[in-house]
């Protein structure tokens, strides 16, 4: 899908930045991307998906949006039969809007 020659997923756990700052437990999913664009220019970015309520609200949001999309409860026709991944059927802009409404956010982070 990405056209990348290789992809690496690193999974780890630790204390969230809000917890380190004395706040409540939260969930942070760090996304680091590096590679080259079509003109072979080096690209690198770092982002975090953050939710102050922890993992459960992120999971609930994703599941509810997938079910709404599959059943056509979002005002669009129901999804045709088949095997799909969530990113294939959930509108990305709508997800980010609902994430924000629920108290979460997508944040750009400085490169480490």
Cα–Cα distance for residue pair 58/32, rounded to 1 Å: 19
pTM over 0.85: no
Residue 81 CB-density burial (10 A; 0-12 exposed, 13-18 middle, 19+ buried): exposed
pLDDT one digit per residue (tens) for the chain, 112 residues: 667 777 777 777 777 777 788 877 788 888 888 888 889 899 899 998 989 888 899 999 999 999 999 999 999 999 999 999 999 999 999 999 999 999 999 999 998 7
């Amino acid at each position: 899908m990405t056209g990348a020659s290789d992809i690496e997923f690193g999974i780890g756990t630790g204390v969230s930045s809000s917890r380190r700052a004395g706040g409540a437990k939260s969930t942070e999913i760090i996304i680091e991307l590096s590679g080259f664009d079509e003109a072979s220019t080096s690209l690198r970015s770092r982002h975090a998906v953050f939710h102050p309520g922890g993992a459960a609200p992120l999971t609930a949001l994703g599941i509810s949006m997938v079910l709404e999309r599959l059943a056509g409860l979002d005002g669009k026709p129901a999804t045709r039969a088949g095997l799909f991944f969530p990113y294939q059927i959930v509108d990305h802009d709508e997800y980010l809007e609902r994430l924000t409404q629920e108290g979460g956010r997508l944040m750009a982070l400085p490169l480490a």
